Chains A and B, each alone.
Chain A
Amino acid sequence: MLALSATALIWAIPFAWMLVASLRSESASTSEIASLIPSGAMGFGNFREAWSEGSFPLWYFNTFLMCAGILAVQCVTVSAAGYAFARLAFPGRAWLFYLFLLQLMLVPPILIVPNLTTIVSLGLYDRLPGVMAPYFASAFGTFLMRQTFRSIPRDYEDAAMLDGARLPQVIWHVLLPLARPGLAAFAIVSVSYHWNEFLWPLIALSSPANQVLTVGLASFTSGAESATEWGVIAAGTLLVAAPLILIFVVFQRRIVSSFVFTGIK
């Protein structure tokens, strides 16, 4: 118990620091910035500065569209592919599945140039669908859904079939509702990954109007040849993370039970 609390405390420190640093007034930002204990003048100055330097409403909107778009398509593709691998017998199924798993081993950055070439030739460069496109299929999601479908007893499908349901109806009315925890767990992983992704949106998008949160945040906080304003960075980072943190707090119980169900950690 003690060890667990200690671990939780260690995990919480960066968030606590971020909160304290974001609330420190600008003048304190350089001298006591490393301290976790609030001191000196506190206020929302950093948030005001971050908000006014960036176009947060636009970035939220674009990021939301991007994550929602990716997830919507993924839900269809990973459920369909997961079902195929779990239930349908076809020649080469095992090999094809291994091929899918192999995709998990690829580091995304090596695909940047081929992916960019594809979206340029599709006319999707600098457009949100272009950023989403490479993620429409997910090896991880397919694997997860396959395992989820396999854990559901066949009896449910057989019973529905006996009652005259056709395959699409079986999938829609029987399997998907039962696989919901699996889909939910996948949704969390997918959204938090794409919400936080930096490199691919940086490469695939150009216009300020299409910018997403991560790239936007970096555009006014990063600097290589000089030091940085920690207070504003902390405030900006909190603004970027806030929606995800909020979702987690609200749906805490469900999220935890989804992960317990699927065994993801």
Chain B
Amino acid sequence: MLRPWRAALAAAAGMLISAGAARAATTDIDLYFPVPVQGKLVIEIRQLIAEFNKGHPDIHVTAVYAGSYDDTNLKTTAAIKAGNPPAAVIMSANFVRSYEINHLAISLDPLIEKDGITPKSFMAEFWPALADNAVIDGHVYGVPFQNSTPLLYYSVDAFKSAGLDPSHPPVTWQDFVADARKLTVVKGGTVERYGFEMPGTYDYLGWIVSGLAMSNGGQYFNHDYGGEVYYDQPSTLGAVMLLDEMVNKLHVMPPGVIDANAAATAFFTGHAAMMVLSTGALTFVRSNMKSPFRVAFMPYNIQPAAPIGGGSLIIPKGNSPTRVAAAWTLIKWLVSPDIAGRWSRFTGYFAPRIAAYDLPEMKSYLAKYPNAKVALEQLKYAVPWFDTFETVAVRKAMENQVQAVLSGRATPQAAVVAAQASAEALMKPYVDQTALNIPQ
């Protein structure tokens, strides 16, 4: 009587063992991802990962939502310090340098070389402007995944009603200020439509100001060394003066600090004629703006320039070689032309992989939405994204001061001097250890 039971038990045990063996052959890894643009991305990225898992039976990836870019940074750092690092992270591209400086991420060079190519030829697959935030001190630490530049969005109706030609958006600061003045509508002492609005909140503000400084001929920060910023130089001062002029003297831009939501809402409702937002917001604007809109390059004073934004894939330190290998397989799959193109079409980010634009789906997408092409053309003028030692704090040193200018509480001259002083104080430990560390 016991026999069938035993057989069944043995069979069950056998199944358990083989299931265990099958599981042992799979490498479980996790990918931390932030949601920098729209909430629906969570669903899309989970679908993407499910697809990857299906095609790679030996790897099982869990996509882990990690909040905003800043939250993701916090969660990743905490996890690494607690000895529980994720296998891969989509990290704000300008945090990659801090990870290298603090020894929290691994260099990807050995993995690239194992595939039989040089790090240099690997990076040649991506738009050249992206390399500066991904290659730190000559080694690849980040793989660009989703990237953006700031764009000038403008309302066609507002342009027409102000007697401007919508097919000629402002190119120089001169045009920009002149158009903003014409586009501003004041009725009975209150502003009915502002010529221009932009987000003044953390991260966005620093990004836009760096873009203005760079289109004013400046560098804003030392791209090759994490201990120098040029906040009090004429190129940056001029950028802050432009904002001060538009807000406090010409009143073509609202005073105070508004966030991206408020700027977009003002744009949708006709209370702002032009705004600067990320290319990553393109899909969002397209689905919410009821009247026609177009996009253009950021206006410039000395030379066209647009800072890179977005996220790169990194592999944190402390993972086992099997997990690193699995993470590398995942990263290569995510930046393959097909997947990178799909992600770009879904989000509005541009695809960092050049070959993505050779695919027929991408060509028909660009033909259908010519606005998406502007970000791509702007790439010619793309400059690296702000990254220094203690990136966030040094960035905020400037943002706090520009916010004071936008609120009419500081002059541009005083603001840039104060920002430079606090930024230098923040970077001092790093500078002392590196550039000022002279052999004795």
Name A's B-contacting residues (CB within 8 A): 30-31, 33-34, 53, 112-113, 116-117, 119-121, 125, 199, 202-203, 206-208, 211, 215, 218-230, 232
* Contact status A30-B148, CB under 8 Å: no
- A interface: dominant SS: helix
Kindly identify, within residues 235 to 275 of chain B, every residue whose CB is under 8 Å from any CB belonging to chain A: 260-261, 263-265, 268-269
Beta-carbon contact of A219 and B278 below 8 Å: no
Q: Are A227 and B265 in contact (CB under 8 A)?
A: yes
Asked if B428 is at the interface of the complex by the 8 Å CB criterion, the answer is no
B42 contacts partner chain A, Cβ-Cβ < 8 Å: yes
A224 touches B68 (CB 8 A): yes
Given contacts A53-B40, A208-B63, A227-B260, 16 further A-B contacts (CB under 8 A): A31-B269, A53-B39, A53-B43, A113-B77, A116-B79, A206-B32, A218-B67, A223-B284, A224-B36, A224-B37, A224-B68, A224-B204, A224-B260, A225-B260, A225-B277, A227-B264
Give the 8 A-B residue pairs with the shortest CB-CB distance, closest first.
A226-B281, A227-B264, A220-B39, A226-B284, A116-B82, A225-B278, A225-B280, A227-B261
B261 touching A202, Cβ below 8 Å: no
Please report which residues of chain B, range 327-362, place their CB below 8 angstroms from some CB of chain A when the two chains form the complex.
348
Q: Confirm or deny: B211 has a beta carbon within 8 angstroms of a beta carbon on chain A.
A: no
Interfacial chain B residues near A120, Cβ < 8 Å? 82-84
The distance from the CB of B375 to the nearest CB of chain A, in whole angstroms, is: 12
**B303: CB under 8 A from chain A?**
no
Number of A-B contacts (CB under 8 A): 121
Mark each residue of chain B from 182 to 219: 1 if its CB lies under 8 Å from any CB of chain A, else 0: 00000000000000000000011000000000000000
How long is the Cα–Cα vector from A113 to B309 in the complex, in angstroms?
Answer: 28
Cα distance A223–B348 when bound, in Å? 13
| CB proximity of A174 to chain B, nearest CB, Å | 44
Give chain B nearest CB distance to A209 CB in angstroms: 10
* Docked pose: A34 CA to B271 CA in angstroms: 13
When distances are taken between beta carbons in the complex, the residues of chain A under 8 Å from B285 are 226
Whether the pair B288, A30 counts as a contact (CB closer than 8 A) is yes
Q: Which residue of B lies closest to A217 (CB)?
A: B39
| B 271-328 contacts with A by CB, 8 A | 277-278, 280-281, 283-285, 288, 309
Bound CA–CA A224/B67 (angstroms): 10
Chain A residues, Cβ within 8 Å of B83: 117, 120-121
A residues less than 8 Å from B46 (CB atoms): 208
Instruction: Tell yes or no: B81 within 8 A of A by CB.
Output: yes
Quick check: is B425 within 8 A (CB to CB) of the other chain? Answer: no
Contacts of B68 in A (CB 8 A): 222, 224
- In the complex, residue of chain A having the shortest beta-carbon distance to the beta carbon of B34: A224
| Contact between A219 and B42, CB atoms less than 8 A apart | yes
Q: Please tell me if the beta carbons of B269 and A226 are within 8 angstroms of each other in the complex.
A: no
Say yes or no: A224 contacts B64, CB within 8 Å.
Answer: no
Q: Are A33 and B265 in contact (CB under 8 A)?
A: yes
Q: Which of B32, B63, B64, B277 meets A226, CB within 8 Å?
A: B277
Contact, CB under 8 Å: A226 / B278: yes
Contacts of A232 in B (CB 8 A): 39
Contacts of B260 in A (CB 8 A): 224-227
Please, how many angstroms separate the alpha-carbon atoms of A199 and B73 in the complex? 12
Among candidates B32, B37, B203, residue contacting A223 with C-beta atoms closer than 8 Å = B37
Chain A residues lying within 8 Å of B277, measured Cβ to Cβ, are 225-226
- A116-B148 in contact (CB<8A): no
Report B102 CB to chain A, min CB distance, Å: 13
